Structure 1
Amino acid sequence: MWLTVFTDRGYLNSLLASMGQQPVSWLAYDNYPSMFAAVLIAEVWRATSLVFVIVVAGLQSIPKDYEEAAGVFGASFWNRLWHVTLPLLRPSLQTALILRTILAFQTFAVALALTGQNFPLVVGETYRWYTGLQDPNVASALALVVMFVSMVTAVGYLKLLRDQTEAAR
């Protein structure tokens, strides 16, 4: 879908042409910033929907009684959001952040589909070492680096967003 948006005769350049602007080669090899922006936009669009589903499900699981009680006791919107909604949404936010981090390492498919070349990503380097350079040992080492960074980030999210009552125990 994003390829039809960013190609030379794609929707975005058609929109620019209708406004009297010059078309842009979004995915040209010599135009690295626009190529990076195109991959970034496509990846954010791909993974954000899953994060929204998790956060909306978390919001729907919060009982309305808590917010109503806070409103009865005179809490402002921001106080209700900060002291009621966000603490109850913490498990959903942890899950969403961990999944989003893991999905960030999987941008290789999006980058390859849009640019059609080796886009500088760690997972892309893993693929290049395994298929192009025929060295599964280096590819395995890079895959372990990706896994280690994902695990450290996930543990960091869990520690950062843990409940303070659990931390005191």
Structure 2
Amino acid sequence: MARSQPHYRRSLGDLSERALAFWLLLPAALLLGFIALYPVLRLLYTSLFALQLTVSPDSSFLGFANYGQALHDARFWNAVKNTLLIVIVTVPGALVVGLLLAMLANLPFRVKWPVRLGLLLPWALPLVFVGLIFRWFFDSQYGVVNDVLVRLGGERLLWVTNPALAFWAICFTLIWKTSSFVALILLAGLQTIPKELYEAAKVDGASRWQEFWRITLPLLTPAILVAMIFRTIAAFQTFDVPYAMTGGGPGNATETLAMYVRATSIENLNFGYGSALAVLMFLISMAVTLVYLRYVRGADE
């Protein structure tokens, strides 16, 4: 009687955990690579060519000449400066306001949904819509802000046409818009802190400030770092709010790097140089993110 051949087929249950994870994640990884990786590689490829449709529909290989042009471009460095200032002002500002909002929403209200709905509304509003609303708020003639200042005995200020005031108006708008997003992340972190720790601290006679400094802040640090990573990356890509409020003006006083990329690529149809600017913006964002991640890894160790 002939011996039966061994059966080599393996079911998913026979795979190791690592192999099973590999095969389950492979479709998502391929899809993510097609959606995210291909555009990035295409952007890198285009940045190496001279491709300006207002001059010629043909492209010629330049190597890294577009990047060299950016390093000597005064408008590029002005946009970098404005972007960095927005990051420096709005990320800590959104963190402080978001932390206060999260702690307020975490209080033992009997009816919590109005407070949490108040956190969701600013985050849910479209950025361009927020920019248009606050442009009207800061309007020199009919704006709410100047109306309040006049009623308090002050003078009308040219919020949108004065470079310094326009910058601070944009930062205030961004903090108002983004602090709710930070608050939602921090609220989730606050709810993971065991209440027993606060009860033990009260038994030991700790004050509210000591509870915050010794319990809340250390245990909330991972959530804070996650919120800062997301906010920093988004702040480097700031476009909608300053575009809606000032259009980058007066002059280029409030033009961000994302706005300069748009102006170069869409208005001037210089896709080669615009792609190089976008790659530089991507590299700056990634560098800051790696700093955050290195800090997180060091804190875990």
Shorter-normalised TM range:
0.7 to 0.9
Alignment counterpart, residue 100 of structure 1, candidates 204, 210, 231: 231
**What is the root-mean-square deviation of aligned Cα atoms in Å?**
2.2
Alignment counterpart, residue 275 of structure 2, candidates 118, 132, 140: 140
> Structure 1 residue 14 and structure 2 residue 162: aligned?
no
Alpha-carbon contact 1:55-1:92 (below 8 Å) kept: yes
> Structure 1 residue 5 and structure 2 residue 140: aligned?
no
Alignment counterpart, residue 86 of structure 1, candidates 213, 217, 240: 217
Count of residue pairs brought into register by the alignment:
164
Alpha-carbon contact 1:43-1:107 (below 8 Å) kept: no
CA distance in 1 between partners of 2:233 and 2:269 (Å): 26
What's the offset of the Cα at 1:42? 0.8
CA distance in 2 between partners of 1:59 and 1:113 (Å): 35
What's the offset of the Cα at 1:78? 4.9
Is the partner of 1:40 in helix, strand or coil?
A: helix
What's the offset of the Cα at 1:86? 2.5
CA distance in 1 between partners of 2:293 and 2:216 (Å): 18
What's the offset of the Cα at 1:104? 0.9
What's the offset of the Cα at 1:36? 0.9
1:124 corresponds to which letter in structure 2? M
> Structure 1 residue 36 and structure 2 residue 36: aligned?
no
Q: 1:66 to 1:21 in 2, by over 3 A?
A: closer
Please report the TM-score for the alignment, with normalisation by the length of structure 2.
Answer: 0.50
1:41 corresponds to which letter in structure 2? F
Runs of 4+ in 1 over 6 A off after TM superposition: none
What's the offset of the Cα at 1:64? 1.0
* Higher relative contact order (CA closer than 8 Å, sequence separation 6+): 2
1:27 aligned residue:
160
CA distance in 2 between partners of 1:95 and 1:23 (Å): 40
CA distance in 2 between partners of 1:76 and 1:154 (Å): 36
Give the share of equivalent positions with the same residue, in percent: 35
Structure 1 residue runs without a partner (length 5+): none
Please report the TM-score for the alignment, with normalisation by the length of structure 1.
Answer: 0.84
Alignment counterpart, residue 151 of structure 1, candidates 266, 270, 286: 286
Alpha-carbon contact 1:67-1:85 (below 8 Å) kept: no
2:247 aligned residue:
116
What's the offset of the Cα at 1:73? 5.1
What's the offset of the Cα at 1:121? 1.0
What's the offset of the Cα at 1:76? 5.5
Structure 2 residue runs without a partner (length 5+): 1-132
